[in-house]
């Protein structure tokens, strides 16, 4: 069964080191809380708000040992007026037997406001 694992994090500035670091933190937390390995992941979609342009957050996934061959795609989030800014969202498509209600969705550094009902992160 393929399940979606959601996550999001914000950055303070549109700077490459901060974007990569924040994305790596988020993805590692998603991996840890869902006990995932790279071979379980079919693909990862990463969206960013229109105020993030300094780099591709997908670079962060390449920093994680063993995750080189996981397909990753970056895209822009819809610029809805009043929406959370400087936000990186991740959607992992994961092969798992875990039931949907037990998937750990991770929202960090201000992104908790997006889905407080889904945020199961042990780290905030």
Of the listed 33, 77, 87, 112, which one is catalytic?
77
87 catalytic per annotation: no
77 catalytic per annotation: yes
74 catalytic per annotation: yes
Distances (CA, A) of 102 to 33, 35, 56, 97: 11, 12, 30, 10
Say which residues have a Cβ less than 8 Å from residue 57's Cβ, sequence separation at least 6.
19, 20, 22, 23, 46, 48, 74, 88
Of the listed 13, 16, 102, 115, which one is catalytic?
115
6 catalytic per annotation: yes
Of the listed 6, 24, 33, 87, which one is catalytic?
6
User: How many other C-beta atoms are found inside a 10 Å radius of the C-beta of residue 14?
Assistant: 15
* DSSP strand pairing (41-48 vs 72-76): parallel
Of the listed 24, 33, 87, 89, which one is catalytic?
89
Of the listed 24, 33, 87, 107, which one is catalytic?
107
Of the listed 13, 16, 50, 62, which one is catalytic?
62
Distance CA 107, CA 112 (A): 5
13 catalytic per annotation: no
Residues with catalytic roles: 6, 62, 74, 77, 89, 107, 115
């Amino acid at each position: 069964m393929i399940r979606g694992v959601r996550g999001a994090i914000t950055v303070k500035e549109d700077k490459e080191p901060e974007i990569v670091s924040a994305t790596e933190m988020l993805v590692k937390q998603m991996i840890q809380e869902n006990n995932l390995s790279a071979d379980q992941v079919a693909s990862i979609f990463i969206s960013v708000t229109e105020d993030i342009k300094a780099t591709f957050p997908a670079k962060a996934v390449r920093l994680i040992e063993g995750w080189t061959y996981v397909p990753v795609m970056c895209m822009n989030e819809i610029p809805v007026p009043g929406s959370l800014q400087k936000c990186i969202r991740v959607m992992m498509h994961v092969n798992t037997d875990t039931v949907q209600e037990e998937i750990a969705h991770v929202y960090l550094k201000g992104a908790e406001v997006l889905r407080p009902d889904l945020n199961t992160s042990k780290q905030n």
